[in-house]
A and B are shown apart, each in its own frame.
Chain A
Amino acid sequence: MSKPLRILYKIGSFFKSIPLAIWKFLKKIPFVILKLLRKATIPFITLKDALVYGDWKVRLSFLVCGFGEFTRKQVVRGVLVLLLQICFTVYFSVFGWKMLANLADLGYIASAEVPINTPPYTRNFYLDNSLLILLYSIVTIIFALIMIYLWYNSIRNSYVLYKNEQIGKEASDKEYLASYVGKKYQNILLSVPMVGLVLFTIIPMIFMILIGFTNYTSDRLTPIKLFDWVGLQTYANLFASKVSNSNLIIQSFLHVITWTLIWAFFATFTNYFLGMVVAMLINKKTIKLKKLWRTILVTTIAVPQFVSLLLISRMFDESYGVVNEILKSLGLIKKSIAFLSTFPITNIVIIVVNIWIGIPYTMLICTGILMNIPEDLYESAKIDGASPFKMYMKITLPYMLFITGPYLISQFVGNINNFNVIYLLSKGGPNFTFKPGVTVPTQLTGLGRSDLLITWIYKMTITNNPKDYASGSVMGICIFVIVAFLSLILYNRSSSVKNEEDFQ
């Protein structure tokens, strides 16, 4: 079989294997569910055991968290849990339940005029705030889940202490605290990063996913106005042509998504291969001044991206760009080319500029690995009469792909969300033009032909007026679906991710 045919065959068999993989995955689901269910029953059995076989101290710790612990000499642990329980009870009874009660309708009255005694005799009071109701509801639920876990943990521990007491084993605080330096050391190390992650990534993320099911826009900015649940209306507005006149949106969406994938593919692979070629050129034994060549390329990394990108966007400018002027003075063109505002040219220019940005990174990464390839492989290939190209295809490339596989995947995913290059170069332009007389949906305001999904979200939620947070959230979920799908496929096929422990 010839080479192109073989590649085609490989691609074909890859796609042929997808249904089977999906079927295998589906077949696994019932077993996984069963396993999870079996796991989920364990806590209940423990609770039942503690209630039935435990003594009064264990039973009392169902109501007063940590009671069984501080009566059995684990004072610090018991008191900490009890304090947390008191905190939670106070928080929930004073504040949390109100928020949860309002969650279903996100508040009734935004503000009210209330008469007062001093001039101007009325004052505006803000009452319900949908944003805060939604936010605090999420916080309350997460707090409650943590509390339930701690409550269960404390009961289980009381029961264990009770059983230990019966066989004559003494418990103490010292042992418990010492475990945090030894076996439970990660709890201390990971506490701060995880709290940060929960507060500033997970809660906002849940919040934004939920926003996709509301009608939150900057026209309904709290605390002056309220927003409300609308179910799947936002999704329907974007993707169901029957509900609204959203054919335009679907067309533009398909364009953006195609361009996003094309961009990610080219941005990743042009950089990868060209960067490898440059690294190999510099690595050649006969080449001198290796350090100088590398340093020149590294300059691109050393200058902040926004400076170089803004500068290049100026250099390619239609009316003030130096590139056009130089081309004109050389007599190559007569009229200025609108490099960053004509449809296919802009996209090509962006990919080319990205090569300029990206090669140095790949070059740096490849340099070290290329030097690690065993020299005798090349020697024996030379003796067998292999051409340099063949040696590259049979030795260098497979070796590099094996080692840099995960890097390549993360680059691909990173490029799907590469905001800087697109926005700072072309701002997503040239804008879509629609036939006159067509009412353009607000979601498409400012959308251009070199926009990625991420810059589209940026435009929807930051630069447009009104800012459409709900649609932005829906688009964000689209990105998630694409990225998750791609990484699932790619990571499953990369061997160095699977065998994490191999290298230790």
Chain B
Amino acid sequence: MKYKDSIYNPDFIRNSSHKKKHTRSMKAVSKIGTGATYIILVVISFIWLIPFVYLLLQSFAVKFEPEYFIPREFTFNNYVQLFTDTTYPFWKWYLNSFIIAVVTTVFQTILVLLTAYSLSRLRFKGRQAIMNLILILGMFPGFLGMICIYNILKLFCGGNEPSIFSIIIIYCANSAMSYYIAKGFFDTIPKSLDEAVRIDGGNNNTVFWKVIVPMSKPIIIYTILISFTTPWGDFMLASMLAGLKTSNWTVAVGLQTIINTIGNETKMFPFFCAGGVVVSIPIMALFFWLQKYYVEGIAGGAVKG
């Protein structure tokens, strides 16, 4: 009796059922675990998709009724209204946002890559000073400086609201501040490659084009993606520079105004949803197309390792 559960009991060894039982229970546990994980993932996906489904459904609604998640009647008119509405010239905002985002992307990508390359690859007097300066500047809310720029631009425009090009200038001029991720990525490219090029008689320029650019496709695409989506979705700066002239607004300012104007809560909601869908389309397309690079860029640059 004493040795019933131990290896001194010959029966116990012969059967050794405890072992089988153990593995069986392990398998059961892992099966339950997998099942639970699937359930959690489904719930998560559900929660994450609901707002977008709601946005899409309501964009086709004839009339906004808060009681119905799925609208009772569907129409395509909201999308037509985006192009015809005169109080809220959505297509104009869309064009503004698009111009701002494209021009900013071109300049910002170039400037970010230049800054990141010089700070990552070249060693010179004042390098650390520039990095510290940018670090300290980043601690000030950049928004404060914008107020100053806004008032000055307004002064130079003779008291009128500044045009969208002022926004472009401000977005581009600050691009040196966002060099970190690209620099982090460049830092991981082995320096021996640079030396190999230099031995072959190359200078800094050749290093950039022959080593850095071919090896950093993810970070270049990541930079392009970020420089496009940031101005596209920026609200704070755009709302400050927008002023009262509706034709100068960007989509962010426009849609925010539509939804927060008193009296528009129910009337304009389907219009807002249609606008939201149209605004999301380019970014979504870009993202799903370039998702791979986005992940590689952010993983390689934001996080060293």
Contact = CB atoms under 8 A, between A and B. Distances in A.
Contact of B41 (A200, A281, A504): A281
B45 interface: yes
A302 B279 CA distance: 11
A501 to B, nearest CB: 8
Contacts of B16: none
Interface string B22-48: 000000001001100110110011011
B111 interface: yes
Given A306-B235, A365-B299, A200 B170 contact: yes
Contacts of A135: 148, 152
Contacts of B67: 325, 329
A473 B142 contact: no
B269 interface: yes
Given A185-B203, A286-B30, A407-B303, A473 B188 contact: no
Contacts of B44: 278, 293, 297
Nearest to B146: A204
Contacts of B143: 419, 454, 457-458, 476
Interface residues of A, number: 102
A200 B108 CA distance: 14
B195 to A, nearest CB: 12
- Which of B55, B66, B203 has most A Cβ within 10 Å? B66
B177 A311 contact: no
Interface string A110-145: 000000000000000000010110010000000000
B295 A131 contact: no
A427 B279 CA distance: 22
The DSSP consensus for interface residues of chain A is helix
Given A303-B52, A419-B236, A310 B229 contact: no
Given A200-B174, A306-B252, A307-B276, A223 B295 contact: no
A368 B141 contact: no
Interface of B: 30, 33-34, 37-38, 40-41, 44-45, 47-49, 51-52, 54-55, 64, 66-67, 69, 111, 114-115, 117-118, 122, 124, 127, 130, 134-149, 151-152, 155, 169-170, 172-177, 180, 187-188, 190-191, 203-205, 229, 232-233, 235-236, 239-240, 252, 255-256, 259-260, 265-266, 269, 272-273, 276, 279-280, 283-284, 286-288, 291, 294-296, 298-299, 302-305
Interface of A: 129, 131-132, 135, 181-182, 184-186, 189-190, 192-194, 196-197, 199-202, 204-205, 207-208, 211, 222-223, 278, 281-282, 284, 286-287, 293, 295-308, 310-315, 317, 319-322, 324-326, 329, 356, 360-361, 364-365, 367-369, 372, 403-404, 406-407, 410, 413, 417, 419-420, 423-424, 427, 454, 457-458, 461-462, 469, 472-473, 476, 479-480, 483-484, 487, 496, 500, 503-504
The 3 A-B residue pairs whose C-beta atoms are closest, nearest first, are A204-B145, A200-B173, A196-B173
